[in-house]
């Protein structure tokens, strides 16, 4: 025994490593799943943000999602093309574009949510009900502390 150089279980067993690698795998999987809807993860993230806030300017949404305003433009463009969001100029400040989720957008978001739930099931197949609850709670606490929804 002793400090065998070459044992990297140290790194790979950290939460940082596991969250990073699992996050990538899961996101890739989700990306393939929503591809048929003409969506990428960021589009879904934007719809989810709109689902919570109901109404917000592009700048506010960009700040909330931590992306550049220029990226918000192309995300909104694409969702508008799909009929998932509406752009309305704020009459009080005509510089602001206010985004709202349409009924079609809500339907798309619902389908994505359903797909995510199916993936959740697959992902947690090896866990007991108790373990799933504990996992969900731990992720929730960490997400809030990190300023995530």
Partner DNA sequence: TATTGTTATACTCTATAACTATA
Partner DNA sequence: TATAGTTATAGAGTATAACAATA
Contacts with a copy of itself, residue ranges (CB under 8 A) = 5-27, 30, 41, 44-45, 47-52, 54, 101, 103, 106, 109-110, 112-113, 116-117, 119-120, 123-127, 131-132, 134-146, 148-149
DSSP state of 80: H
- Tell me how crowded residue 12 is: count the other CB atoms within 10 A of its CB: 9
C-beta of 83: minimal distance to a copy of itself in Å? 15
Please report where in the chains the tokens 């978001």 appear, as a residue: 109
**Partner in contact with 37, chosen from a copy of itself, DNA, none, beta carbon below 5 to 8 Å by kind:** none
Q: Which of 26, 48, 57, 86 binds DNA (CB under 7 A)?
A: 57
CB closer to a copy of itself, 92 vs 145 = 145
Tell me how far apart the alpha carbons of residues 71 and 74 are, in angstroms, rounded to a whole number.
5
Give me 12's structure tokens.
């790979």
Phi, psi for 56 (deg, rounded to 5): -165, 155
């Amino acid at each position: 025994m002793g400090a065998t150089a070459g044992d990297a279980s140290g790194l790979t067993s950290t939460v940082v490593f596991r969250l990073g690698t699992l996050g990538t795998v899961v996101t890739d999987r989700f990306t393939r799943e929503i591809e048929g809807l003409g969506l990428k993860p960021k589009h879904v993230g934007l719809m989810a943000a709109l689902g919570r806030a109901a109404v917000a300017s592009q700048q506010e949404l960009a700040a909330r999602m931590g992306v550049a305003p220029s990226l918000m433009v192309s995300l909104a463009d694409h969702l508008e093309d799909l009929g998932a969001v509406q752009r309305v100029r704020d009459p009080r400040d005509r510089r602001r574009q206010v985004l709202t989720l349409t009924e079609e957008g809500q339907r798309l978001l619902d389908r994505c949510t359903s797909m995510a739930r199916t993936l959740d099931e697959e992902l947690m197949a090896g866990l007991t009900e108790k373990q799933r609850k504990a996992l969900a709670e731990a992720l929730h606490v960490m997400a809030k502390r990190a300023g995530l929804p």
